[in-house]
Amino acid sequence: MKKLGIILLYLIFQAFNQDALAQDQNFYIFLCFGQSNMEGNAKFEAQDTIVDSRFQVLEAVNCDNLGRTKDNWYTAVPPLSRCNTGITPADYFGRTLVANLPKNVKVGIINVAVGGCKIELFDKNNYESYVTAAPSWMTKMIKEYDGNPYGRLVELAKIAQKSGVIKGILLHQGESNTNDAAWPQKVKGVYDNLLSDLDLNAKSVPLLAGEVVNADQGGICSSMNTIIAKLPETIPNSYVISSAGCPDAADNLHFNAEGYRMLGTRYGLEMLSLLGYKANASK
């Protein structure tokens, strides 16, 4: 009986050790979520399709048109959200990291975003009531994430944790919550749930939140940036990414392709600094 116990302990140790070996400490994973500007509204261009293979995306949905199957890793050639979305801040976030991190470090992103949604869609305890009242054009996108974008984000993150280490969370959302003073607290609820559900430490997993289209570009939701600016008062390990000077589309709601490149690069530069690296590019 004692011998059997020793064997069981050995097998448990071996299983744990194999899991540890399977996880690459030099594979940095980042969770991205939000609404249409995180989804990617502008069409990507030829220059955006040349990608270092060290930059990877964990596919969130099945995309036959891209030859991708959900739950699998691919080189992060856009689109990085769903099958027919555009360029997103995540594109140039990842490019900025791999261009400046040591060559043995890979970067992986997960992008779960739904155009037009409020932050309430990612509230794991109350999302169902939000989905029930959502317009049909939005529910179609939500269904691609099995009806629960937050749950799908967590599911993908757990898959990613078998391969690498989650180093940060990126958010771009707020247009649909414009002038909602409670937004920082609502974001904190989502952030805290992610930390809890994925067994993450707040001190080692920062939240980076981008401003919406800036007033200097005529942004129609730019008043929301004063509320976004308060996020670090609610989440100590959070950082606001400026959208100043990032050009937008004709609707003054979404960035254009160049705006996404600029904003994504700023996300990347901030994350590099938090990781202890310097980059040659300027914000």
Closest CA to 68 of 49, 90, 50, 83: 83
The pairs formed by 196-200 with CB atoms below 8 angstroms and a separation of 24 or more are 197/124, 197/154, 198/154, 198/157, 198/158, 198/161, 198/166, 200/166
Q: To 10 degrees, what angle do helices 89-100 and 257-275 make?
A: 40
- At 62, list the tokens: 């099945």
Q: To 10 degrees, what angle do helices 149-160 and 183-197 make?
A: 40
Active site residues: 36, 251, 254
Tell how far CA 182 is from the center of its chain.
Answer: 22
Strand, helix or coil for residue 165: strand
Residue 169 dihedral angles phi and psi, to the nearest 5°: -130, 130
Residue 244: CB atoms within 10 Å: 13
